[in-house]
Amino acid sequence: MSGFEVDPESLRRADDRIGSVFSAALSDFERMETELAGADAPWGGDDLGSIIGEIYTGAYAMAMNCLFSNLDTMGAYSDRLAVAADAYDAAEEEISQQFGQIGTTLDARGT
């Protein structure tokens, strides 16, 4: 594939940036959950309030599940970037060593 180049340091920087966004978002969502939990049941305890509470609780749980699932996915992508960067570095090192061995072998043969 011509023109394809991977910069492991760029992958690591992207991992760091995604990790920072992940941490900030997780902190914000946890703070929001704490604040919402402190609001108790602002819709009241009568029949209508109970219905509103049930709807809110279900919708809230679904939304939080979706948000935290997306955060987990973001964290996994971030981790994979670091693994990919390490793999590229290891492959480069291995290739460099193999070419060095080839050069040594050719030098020993006088070619």
* pLDDT tens series, the chain, 111 aa: 567 788 999 999 999 999 899 889 989 988 988 888 888 788 888 999 999 989 988 998 999 899 889 989 988 999 999 999 999 999 999 999 999 999 888 888 876
Per-residue model confidence (pLDDT) at position 106: 87
Per-residue model confidence (pLDDT) at position 111: 63
Nearest to 43 by CA among 30, 31, 60: 60
Host domain of residue 48: 8-103
CA distance 62 to 56: 10
Has residue 93 been placed in a domain?
yes
Has residue 21 been placed in a domain?
yes
Has residue 108 been placed in a domain?
no
Has residue 64 been placed in a domain?
yes
Has residue 1 been placed in a domain?
no
CA distance 11 to 19: 12
Evaluate if pTM is beyond 0.85: no
Has residue 2 been placed in a domain?
no
Per-residue model confidence (pLDDT) at position 32: 87
